[in-house]
Each structure stands twice: as C-alpha cells, then as structure tokens.
C-alpha cells in the first residue's frame, strides 16, 4: 500500500482540517443512544488533534514511546487487544491522567513524577485503558433520558474541558451544547469500580504488581488531604473514596505481592522530566548533590540527568567525562545511546559521531529519537542523500510520523528536489490533520514539476485530499 493510500484510509476516519486555528469543523450529529466504536474513534481523534496542536502536548518522543510501550503491553491483555491505542504525555506538573474515547490516553508529567514504581504507572494506565475498552463514554451518553441528536464536535469539546481545571472548562464550553454534555460525562461510581476491576486484571495478566494500585491511590488520597481545596484533577474525574480503595485491597489481598525491579527506562524518563523542570545550573547542582550524597534514587539515572544538564549548560568537556562513567555502568539502552550521540555531536567530531549513530540506529531501529538525531546530524554535515535514504526506510515503518516527513522535506530541499520536498511537507501536514496546508504543499509540488508518473500521482493525491476537505465542510 502506498503512503498516500494509507493516509486516505486513516483520514477517512478523521475530520479536523483546521484543528488549531479555525475552530471545530462540523462533524455532524450522532444519536446519543447509539455511539458506535467508529464514532468514538472520531471523537477521540478530534480531541487528540486539538491536544497535539496545543502547547500541552509533550513533544518528547522518548517519553511518549515509553508510555506506549507500557500501555501496549497492557492493551495486549485486554478484551480488545486489536484496538489501536495512543498514549501520550501532557506537559503539566499537576497530577492527572485521562482517557478519551477511541483509545487516546493522556498522562500528565506531574503524575509520572509521583509514581514510585512502574507497577504504579501501570495501575493508572490500566484503569484508563479500561474506561476505553468498557466504552464508558458511549454508555454515559446513552444512559441519559431520551435519544437526542448531539453533535460530535460538542462531545469532543466537552471531553477536552472535563480534563482541565473547573475554571478553564467553564470558559471553554460556555454557551455551547458541550456545556450540557459535560454534565453527563462524569464517570459514575459504577464506571470507576469497573475500570478498577478490569484494570487489575490487565495488570495481573501483564505481570505487574497489582498491590501497586491501592498503594498509589492511598498515597494520592493522603497527599490531597494535606492540600485541601487543591485537589488534583485526577481526583475530580476519578473520585477516590475509602470504599473504593477497600474494594481494590480486597481484590488484591489474595494475590502475591510482586517485588519487581523497575526498568531503567522508567527511571530515565522520570529523570528527564525532573531535569526539564529546572534551569540548567540548578539541574547540574541537583544531580551533583544526588550523586555525592548517595542517599536516594538511582545513581545511573542521576548520572544520566547530570549529563543532560551539562549539555544544556554547554559544559561539553565534563559531559564527555561523565558519559564515559555512565557507559561503564550501562551496557545497552536506547535512551543512553541517544544521549551519548548528543554528547558526541556536541563534541564536534563529525566522522566519529556519524559512525556512532550508524551503529546505534542499527542496534535500536525502533528508537525514533535516535533516528531523528542521526538524520539531523547527516543534514548538518551536508549529507542529504544519506539522510533521505535513512528517512525513506524509516517512513515505510512509521508512515504517520510527521517529524520524519519534516526531516525528509529538509533533505530533499538540500538535494534540490523541490517536488519531493513539498510532497513530504504535504504528508506531514495531512497526518497532523491540516488538510488545507497539505493541499497548498501539493499545489507547490505540482508547480515544481517532475516526471509524468510523479505528477499524476500528485494529481490523484490532490483530488483525494480536496474531496476529503469538501466532505469535512459539508459541501456534499
């Protein structure tokens, strides 16, 4: 299947042309009593496009890939293992996690930081996954009196509003049908219990320590008591009661307490978030102290954090020394490999750096952060042909990766291939849901000129995208 065909298949499910700037497109109305899985997916996609184009989306491939790794392991053991999920981090240091219909699960950086084990994180994800697989949104809407027609766009707005603070949501949904819907979107006690029950099952089947679920909820509840009136959003959307915790404790009481070592990635991801919160100078001294005190935390992760901070502080010499120490402690880890590449790149020994990336990408072909960095290094050292070969190969595995298309467009630009450059940009925009910009790029590609075959393929892509854009605007 060509890239564009796959794009068409996905975009047929998708509808938001101007997610960020121009308000919500008309998605049509749906019957409240029968929200189908496809409609759930569409509503989730709509909300996701909004989040992706906002500043809240944490644009860190390593953090997001890590969440998907844990999430996919859990989904694989659910009653809908083939449902496609997307897990993503939200750049927000308040404690929250939320599920949107159709398989989109967001986790705030604040929540990631207060989890004390991978099993605790898995307990949150498995609860959210279960809201999706049990179709709680559809059931909430159909549970209302009567069968009114409601707009899918309004549902998407209500869902986005529900995960924000009360003040923001009031402002966001005032005067719309969303306001009415939002009141219907509170998870009920029954839904919470069900998500706990199914979530525990997922954890158990996936080999996590189920006792982490009540432990985490208790800690959250305790933390909340200490800061009255400042309840994390998580507690507002998933109320924790002592009854609820007791019921979970009862369920896990007969299960073994598994003492599982956390993956190094769990530590590294959290370290990355800690480092990002601080100025570079503060981060250097924070990790320096942590390493000398040896009182708390994981020294490997702390050294990783120190090197991140040193790079930001432009202390390449020391970063290089610390990297040698870290390398002696960690044999094989994609995140550490990615960091080592950054240290080498900062050291400006181009030949060495490129050879290093070449091997690292071969060892970890699925670690996208490494691929981006390698492509970037090739572009910076004026090797656009090698970059475009690497990117073409990776795009066949990740045909929806907008960052890969953008790098591809830059390599074509350097190669003077204008048609291909605009075509790659068009795909990047199309996958972001921005059909208008995608069409503009295809028009530019056509104008740049090319072979008969290339031009007719662009012509047919254009026709499809224009049809989709027309449909979205209800012109048919």
Note the residues at the interface with Zn ion (CB under 5 A).
187, 192, 195, 238
C-alpha atoms less than 13 angstroms from C-alpha of 468 in its C-beta half-sphere: 25
Tell me the closest approach of the beta carbon of residue 197 to Zn ion, in angstroms: 12
Tell me the closest approach of the beta carbon of residue 171 to Zn ion, in angstroms: 24
Q: Closest Cα partner for 122 from 258, 287, 273, 316?
A: 258
DSSP code at position 14: -
Of 24 and 195, the one with the shorter C-beta distance to Zn ion is 195
Of 197 and 436, the one with the shorter C-beta distance to Zn ion is 197
Of 101 and 305, the one with the shorter C-beta distance to Zn ion is 101
Tell me the closest approach of the beta carbon of residue 271 to Zn ion, in angstroms: 28
Of 126 and 421, the one with the shorter C-beta distance to Zn ion is 126
> Which two tokens mark 117?
């084990």
> Which two tokens mark 453?
């075959």
Of 238 and 364, the one with the shorter C-beta distance to Zn ion is 238
Neighbours of 121 (CB within 10 A): 27
Residue nearest Zn ion (C-beta atom): 238
Q: Closest Cα partner for 430 from 474, 466, 455?
A: 466
Of 74 and 424, the one with the shorter C-beta distance to Zn ion is 74
Distances (CA, A) of 360 to 356, 357, 363: 6, 5, 5
Cβ atoms of 160 and 179 within 8 Å: the answer is no
Q: For residue 426, what are the contacts with CB-CB under 8 A and spacing of at least 6?
A: 438, 439, 441, 442, 445, 461, 465
Helix (H, G, I), strand (E, B) or coil at 46: helix
Of 187 and 208, the one with the shorter C-beta distance to Zn ion is 187
Tell me the closest approach of the beta carbon of residue 185 to Zn ion, in angstroms: 12
Tell me the closest approach of the beta carbon of residue 125 to Zn ion, in angstroms: 12
Tell me the closest approach of the beta carbon of residue 199 to Zn ion, in angstroms: 9
d(CA 25, CA 184): 23
Of 15 and 187, the one with the shorter C-beta distance to Zn ion is 187
Tell me the closest approach of the beta carbon of residue 111 to Zn ion, in angstroms: 13
Cβ atoms of 446 and 462 within 8 Å: the answer is yes
Q: Give the pairing type, strands 97-100 and 104-108.
A: antiparallel
Tell me the closest approach of the beta carbon of residue 97 to Zn ion, in angstroms: 9
> 386 — phi, psi (to 5°)?
-65, -40
């Amino acid at each position: 299947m060509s890239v564009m065909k796959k794009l068409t298949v996905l975009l047929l499910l998708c509808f938001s042309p101007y997610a960020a700037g121009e308000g919500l497109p008309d998605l049509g109305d749906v019957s409240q009593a029968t929200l189908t899985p496809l409609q759930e997916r569409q509503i989730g996609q709509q909300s996701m496009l909004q989040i992706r184009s906002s500043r809240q989306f944490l644009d860190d491939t390593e953090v997001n890939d890590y969440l998907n790794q844990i999430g996919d392991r859990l989904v694989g053991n659910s009653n809908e293992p083939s449902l496609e999920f997307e897990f993503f981090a939200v750049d927000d240091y308040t404690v929250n996690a939320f599920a949107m219909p159709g398989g989109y699960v967001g986790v705030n950086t604040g929540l990631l930081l207060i989890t004390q084990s991978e099993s605790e994180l898995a307990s949150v994800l498995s609860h959210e996954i279960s809201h999706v697989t049990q179709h709680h949104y559809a059931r909430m809407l159909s549970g209302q009196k009567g069968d009114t027609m409601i707009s899918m766009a309004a549902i998407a707005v209500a869902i986005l509003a529900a995960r924000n603070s009360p003040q923001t949501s009031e402002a966001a949904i005032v005067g719309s049908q969303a306001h009415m819907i939002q009141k219907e979107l509170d998870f009920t006690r029954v839904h919470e219990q069900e998500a706990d029950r199914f979530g525990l099952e997922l954890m158990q089947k996936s080999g996590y320590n189920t006792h982490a679920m009540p432990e985490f909820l208790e800690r959250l509840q305790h933390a909340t008591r200490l800061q009255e009136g400042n309840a994390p959003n998580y507690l507002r959307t998933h109320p924790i009661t002592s009854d609820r915790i007791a019921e979970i404790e009862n369920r896990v009481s007969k299960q073994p307490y598994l003492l599982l070592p956390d993956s190094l990635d769990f530590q590294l991801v959290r370290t990355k978030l800690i480092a990002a919160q601080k100025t570079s100078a503060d981060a250097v001294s924070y990790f320096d102290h942590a390493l000398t005190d040896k009182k708390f935390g994981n020294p490997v992760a702390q050294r990783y954090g120190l090197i991140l901070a040193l790079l930001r502080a432009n202390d390449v010499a020391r970063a290089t020394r610390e990297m040698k120490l870290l390398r002696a402690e960690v044999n094989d880890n994609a995140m550490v490999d990615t960091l080592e590449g950054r240290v080498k790149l900062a050291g400006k020994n181009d030949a060495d750096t490129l050879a290093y990336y070449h091997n690292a990408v071969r060892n970890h072909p699925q670690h996208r952060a490494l691929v981006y960095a390698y492509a970037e290094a090739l572009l910076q050292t004026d090797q656009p042909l090698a970059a475009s070969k690497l990117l073409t190969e990776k795009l066949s595995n990740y045909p929806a990766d907008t960052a890969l298309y953008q790098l591809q467009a830059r390599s074509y630009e350097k190669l003077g291939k204008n048609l291909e450059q605009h075509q790659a940009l068009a795909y990047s925009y199309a996958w972001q849901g921005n059909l208008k910009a995608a069409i503009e790029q295809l028009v530019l590609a056509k104008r740049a000129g090319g072979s008969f075959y290339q031009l007719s393929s662009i012509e047919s892509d254009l026709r499809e995208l224009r049809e989709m854009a027309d449909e979205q605007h209800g012109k048919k």
